[in-house]
Amino acid sequence: MADNFQLHVAMFPWLAFGHMIPYLELAKLIAQKGHKISFISTPRNIDRLPKLPPHLSPLINLVKLPLPRIDNLLEGAEVTSDVRYEEVKYLKLAYDGLKEPLTTFLETSHPDWILYDFLPYWLPELASRLGISNGFFSIFIAAMVAYVKPPYLVEYRTTPEDFTVPPKWIPFPTTVAFRLFEALKLFNHSVSAEESHVTDVYRLEKVLKGCDMIAVRGCKEFEPEWLQLLEELHGKPVLPVGFLPTTEYDAGEETETWRSVKEWLDKQEKGKVVYVAFGSEAKPSQDELTEIALGLELSGLPFFWVLKKRRGLVDTEPIELPDGFEERTKGRGIVCTTWAPQLKILGHDAVGGFLTHSGWSSVVEALQNQRALVLLTFLADQGVNARVLEEKKIAYSIPRNDSDGSFTRDSVAESLRMVIVEEEGKLYRDKAREMSSLFGDRDRQDRYVDNLLGYLQSHIKQLTS
């Protein structure tokens, strides 16, 4: 068998756009090399994915598996942004219910590999039983995966406070750990078991134990020590696949939206606009929203804010801007409550900085466009992402109360002005420019994909020789 034979790779991401989009980016890069992809998700999610470039469509099969009905999960909810945070656990149960139709698909389509997310803890065993090579593709950076206990160690962390210091198995000095307010939220939803639900930590441990290899969204130039530690902890190949910077296929649907946004940005002073967005899942509390808004107003900087007022198809607690805020900031700021073309906005010269939740896709999009980062974490892995960026002096986090995560309008205003316009923040602006050569390097990205494919092919060749 030749080393460069065509592979058939199945992909099964978690039901969140922050997971599906990096999986789709990797799928496109693999398909560009002439390999077949089966991208598996639910019908509504497949229909909401960005359009594929026509030359890749024949190689990427978008497989729709209907999501099973689950008690307490609203009909039509198929992705995390469709439900309130407290209801994500029901979406996980529905995702587990895809095991049977996925088994049928794998039995009939015979992929060479299946790459899957951290949640389907039952999939490594299933793939092995069907004779399919399988790998965990982590959209989390290596530091976050290393933060989770290796399966062969006994968990000693029993309280939220235990998660606010680096784990004992990290052998090098680091400040990477959750802050207490982040650990409390993580502990309630990911570490402690609820009713009969399987915890996120249990799921990830089972995946790490059962997979044949680990693919990580990242590169050796950025976190070499964490990637090496993952190999040592799990005793299996760990392959960085690059940062997977977002690529857009513009089929014309967003032209009108972008035209009006660009018209406003074109009138702004270069490098002074704050772009504000917290991803598809994070919804600030009313108090947080008020402080963010009044902080933007106090900063005096022009801003473009993509604001998610509701989370889920039925959110009975919408959040509202302070009285008079939009009138007082009219002309200087725009609040957009619908979809906005983030990549295009970040690419505009008027934007000087990005106030973000530190979700990794947003970080990559900002740094590939040389935008300075101001961080305000909300959920999941964002705390670890923020610590890694802080440790490397790539981003600045808004000061917060450690126990409850609260912050003030003054700290928002001061942080934004410091990072975007003041001399003290030049460090962050310079670092963002420096990082763009790493985060936006298409040639380096291409080499990482070649390396991944070389491994996937050689593994199959060994099995069949």
Instruction: List active site positions.
Output: 19, 117
DSSP letter string, 76-139: T--SGGGS-GGGHHHHHHHHHTTHHHHHHHHHHH--SEEEE-SS-TTHHHHHHHTT-EEEEEES
Per DSSP bridges, beta strands 8-12 and 395-397 are: unpaired
Which amino acid is present at 340?
A
113 CB neighbour count, 10 Å cutoff:
21
- Burial 335-353, CB ≥16 within 10 A → b, else e: bbeeebbbebbbebebbbb
Asked whether the beta carbons of 373 and 395 are under 8 A apart, the reply is: yes
Helix (H) or strand (E) holding 63: strand 60-64
119 CB neighbour count, 10 Å cutoff:
23
Instruction: Tell me the CB-side half-sphere exposure of residue 452, using CA atoms within 13 A.
Output: 32
